[in-house]
Amino acid sequence: MVKSSRTDGLFEISGAVHLHSSCSDGSKSIPEITETANEKGLDFLLFSDHNTLKPKKDGLEGIYKKVAVVIGCELNDPDDKNHYLAFQIEDEIPLGLRAEEYVRKVKDQGGFGIIAHPAEKRSYSEKYPPYPWTDWHVQGFDGIEIWNQLSEWMEGMSRLNFIYRLMHPLRSIHFPVKSILEKWDRLNIEKRIVGTGGIDVHAYKKRFLGFINLEIYPYKVQFKSIRTHLLLDESWQEILKKNDFSLAERAIFSAIKNARLFIVNYSVGDGTGFEFYAQKGSRIFPMGARINEHEVEFHVVCPLKGKIRFIHNSVVKEQKRGQDLQIKCNEPGVYRVEIYRKGRGWIYSNPIVLMK
Q: For the segment 167-220, what is each residue's pLDDT rounded down to a tens digit? A: 677 788 899 999 999 999 999 999 999 999 999 876 555 655 555 556 667 888
Number of residues assigned to the chain: 356
Phi first, then psi, for residue 198 (nearest 5°) are: -125, 140
pLDDT value for 356:
78
User: What average pLDDT does range 47-62 have in this prediction?
Assistant: 97
Global pTM exceeds 0.85:
yes
Query: Got the DSSP string for 66-102?
Result: TEEEEEEEEE--TTS-S-EEEES--SPPPTT--HHHH
Give the whole-angstrom CA distance, residue 274 versus residue 270. Answer: 9
pLDDT value for 287:
98
For residue 310, which of 284, 281, 280, 333 has the smallest C-alpha distance? 333
Instruction: List, in order, residues 6 or more apart from 83 with CB less than 8 Å away.
Output: 74, 75, 76, 115, 116, 117, 131, 133
Instruction: List, in order, residues 6 or more apart from 231 with CB less than 8 Å away.
Output: 6, 8, 10, 11, 12, 255, 260, 261, 286, 287
Give the whole-angstrom CA distance, residue 73 versus residue 55. Answer: 10
Phi first, then psi, for residue 287 (nearest 5°) are: -50, 140
User: What average pLDDT does range 338-350 have in this prediction?
Assistant: 98
Do the bridges between strand 296-312 and strand 333-341 make them parallel or antiparallel, or are there none, so unpaired?
antiparallel
- Could you give the 3-state DSSP secondary structure of residue 55? helix
Q: In this structure, are residues 102 and 84 in contact, taking their beta carbons and an 8 Å threshold?
A: yes
User: Domain residues of the chain, as ranges?
Assistant: 11-253, 270-354
Helical H runs in the chain?
30-40, 54-57, 99-108, 149-155, 162-167, 178-190, 219-222, 236-242, 245-257
User: What average pLDDT does range 305-318 have in this prediction?
Assistant: 98
Mean pLDDT of the chain: 92
Specify the range with the lowest mean pLDDT, choosing from 44-48, 172-176, 195-199, 287-291.
Answer: 172-176
Burial of 127 (0-12, 13-18, 19+ CB in 10 A): exposed
Has domain 270-354 been given CATH number 2.60.40.10? yes
CATH topology of domain 11-253: TIM Barrel (3.20.20)
pLDDT value for 141:
99
Nearest 5 degrees, angle CA 323-CA 5-CA 342?
Answer: 25
Per-residue pLDDT of 136-178, as tens digits, reads 999 999 999 999 887 766 677 666 766 666 767 778 889 999 9
User: What average pLDDT does range 35-42 have in this prediction?
Assistant: 97
pLDDT band at residue 323 using 50, 70 and 90 as cut-offs: very high
Q: In this structure, are residues 172 and 153 in contact, taking their beta carbons and an 8 Å threshold?
A: yes
**Where are the extended beta strands (E) located within 121-225?**
143-148, 194-198, 205-208, 212-215
Q: Cα dist. 289→47, 187, 272, 310 in Å? A: 27, 15, 20, 16
Q: In this structure, are residues 272 and 11 in contact, taking their beta carbons and an 8 Å threshold?
A: no
Tell me how far apart the 2 most distant CA atoms of the chain are, in Å: 67
Burial of 231 (0-12, 13-18, 19+ CB in 10 A): buried
Per-residue pLDDT of 58-106, as tens digits, reads 999 999 999 999 999 999 999 999 999 999 999 999 999 999 999 999 9
